[in-house]
Amino acid sequence: MNRTKNIQNSFKQHEVFLDDIITNFDTKGEDFGNQDRNSLKIFKIEDKTLNVKSFRVPNLINQLAYRFFRKSKAQRSFEYANRLQSLGIGTPQPIAYYEYSTPFLFNKSFYISEQLDCDLTYRELTTDFDYPNHEEILRAFTRFTYHLHEKQVKFLDHSPGNTLIKKVGNDYEFFLVDLNRMEFKPLDFETRIKNFAKLTTHESMIKIMSDEYAKCLGENPNQVFNLMWKNTKNFQHRYWRRRRVKNKLLFWRSK
């Protein structure tokens, strides 16, 4: 099986170490976070902690697509992280990506970034309404999203677990993770508002975010709220409908 890799110049001196943790990923490192879809591990080197994401082997159609027509999730994560940083948008420091393939099929890939210690993710805001400065953080997050949109970034996985939040002094900084699905293009009003649809089911949070985003845009708050709430409900309807269909199709798994 062939292996390709791309390592940041600033980390080239650790190439042997990186090669080793990828080669021995199954037996080394410490499990980190949710392991349901892809495997995440952390590794220590000097004073740094590395986060290594192992993307599972795709289905046969995507093995062909990633081999010949599309960039892998690992490559996109690496390239998008560098692009975000060039735009002044927070994301953990990208370090490298590795890919394995045969002459005709793509197999697996790994994305390596620097582990970022954070105080919370957006998800905590959806479950703990007594979190200190809850509304202040939510409004700051909304301004961060506006900054993304102004930089022509459409984060397709703008969902609760994919924004890390770090308190710095009296301010809050935001960092995007799970980067492999992004578009870079000018965003119209409806596309911007729809980008909030996956974040929360709580109308009270939508009211705060729509009010802050309306201020950023100079638009009518009621118009922004109505569209944001409508998109949120539509997304939830589609999500639960897909879940019901999936459960019916896979009923045998529960037996």
One domain, residues 160 and 78: no
Asked if 114 and 93 touch (Cβ cutoff 8 Å), the reply is yes
One domain, residues 98 and 129: no
Pick from 96, 114, 132: which residue ends a domain?
114
pLDDT confidence of residue 148: 97
One domain, residues 28 and 81: yes
Whole-Å CA distances, 205 to 14, 126, 138, 209, 216: 44, 8, 8, 6, 17
What residues contact 114, with CB distance under 8 A and at least 6 apart?
48, 49, 50, 51, 92, 93, 95
pLDDT, tens digit (0-9, with 9 covering 90-100), for 114-155 = 999 999 999 999 999 999 999 999 999 999 999 999 999 999
Name which of 110, 108, 107 is nearest 94 in CA terms. Answer: 110
pLDDT confidence of residue 255: 46
CA distance 110 to 240: 31
pLDDT confidence of residue 251: 54
One domain, residues 161 and 213: yes
DSSP state, 92?
P
Identify the three-state secondary structure at position 45: strand
One domain, residues 189 and 127: yes
Ranges of residues in the chain whose predicted pLDDT is under 50: 254-255
Which two three-digit tokens encode residue 36?
């349901």
Q: What is the pTM of this model?
A: 0.91
Exposure string (b/e) for 188-225, b if CB count within 10 Å is 16 or more?
Answer: eeeebbbbbbbbbeeeebbebbbebbbebbeeeeeebb
One domain, residues 146 and 110: no
Sheet with strand 120-121: strands edge to edge: 120-121, 163-168, 171-176
One domain, residues 126 and 108: no
Which domain, by its residues, includes 32? 2-114
